[in-house]
Amino acid sequence: MSIFEYNGSALVAMVGKNCFAIASDRRLGVQLQTVATDFRRIYRIHDKVYIGLSGLATDAQTLYQRLVFRHKLYQLREERDMKPETFASLVSAILYEKRFGPYFCQPVIAGLGGDDQPFICTMDCLGAKELAKDFVVSGSASESLYGACESMYKPDMEPEELFENISQALLASVDRDCLSGWGGHVFLVTPTEVQERTLKGRMD
């Protein structure tokens, strides 16, 4: 089994009309054994930037701690929050620093940039950025996520519809992957508020 599938994960982010949603599954496993059913993969960097980290859970946690450290220093020095594009460049640089002994994580970054325009991107474990205008996926369930998003996605969805859409895509995909599932976490972010919801899916 590949190292990226050791813990199992599913992550997806979608762009809507002046909003974005980022969702993950909740299972933490050790190969085939489920060890936790409430594992958080999506972290808030600040009100308008969220990062989801799939792959090896220990690397995800360490990477998250390093990123929070860098962002807090940035906030103190520059007296402002990081834009999502800037944050994505920072994550890419930090991952490439470990080019010959990488963090086994694939981040998904989602945020509201200048003029509250939604921004999403993903990258591989070495920091190769992939920007998208519609959706990005990551994790052991990424192949089924690609399929589900490709068929379900529509541009310019309102927040409620976007939430429905991303939840359906996530739950349908994790059912096809034995290493992810046990429900979902969805963050729906608009310029004025953030809604966090938990999904109940097939608990297996």
Partner 1 sequence: MGDSQYSFSLTTFSPSGKLVQIEHALMAVGSGQTSLGIKAANGVVIATEKKLPSILVDEASVQKIQLMTPNIGVVYSGMGPDSRVLVRKSRKQAQQYYRLYKETIPVTQLVRETATVMQEFTQSGGVRPFGVSLLIAGFDDSGPQLYQVDPSGSYFSWKASAMGKNVSNAKTFLEKRYTEDMELDDAVHTALLTLKEGFEGQISSKNIEIGLISTDRKFRVLTPAEIEDYLAEVE
Chain residues that interact with partner 1, rule: CB under 8 A: 77-78, 83, 85-86, 89-90, 93
Distance of CA 105 to the CA centre of its chain: 11
CB of 144 to partner 1, least distance (A): 32
CB of 54 to partner 1, least distance (A): 23
49 or 149, CB closer to partner 1?
49
CB of 89 to partner 1, least distance (A): 4
CB of 93 to partner 1, least distance (A): 5
CA distance 23 to 98: 27
CB of 100 to partner 1, least distance (A): 19
Beta strands in 72-162 (DSSP E): 105-112, 118-123, 129-132, 135-139
17 or 83, CB closer to partner 1?
83
CA distance 154 to 167: 14
Asked whether the beta carbons of 197 and 188 are under 8 A apart, the reply is yes
Three-class DSSP category at 185: strand
CB of 166 to partner 1, least distance (A): 28
68 or 90, CB closer to partner 1?
90
Instruction: Look up tokens 């895509």; give the residue.
Output: 169
88 or 125, CB closer to partner 1?
88
91 or 157, CB closer to partner 1?
91
User: Which residues have a Cβ under 8 Å from the Cβ of 130 and sit 6 or more positions away?
Assistant: 121, 122, 123, 124, 136
40 or 98, CB closer to partner 1?
98
Its sign, for the CA torsion 29, 140, 135, 51, is positive
Nearest by Cα to 104 from 69, 139, 130: 139
Structure tokens that stand for 56 in this block: 């090896």
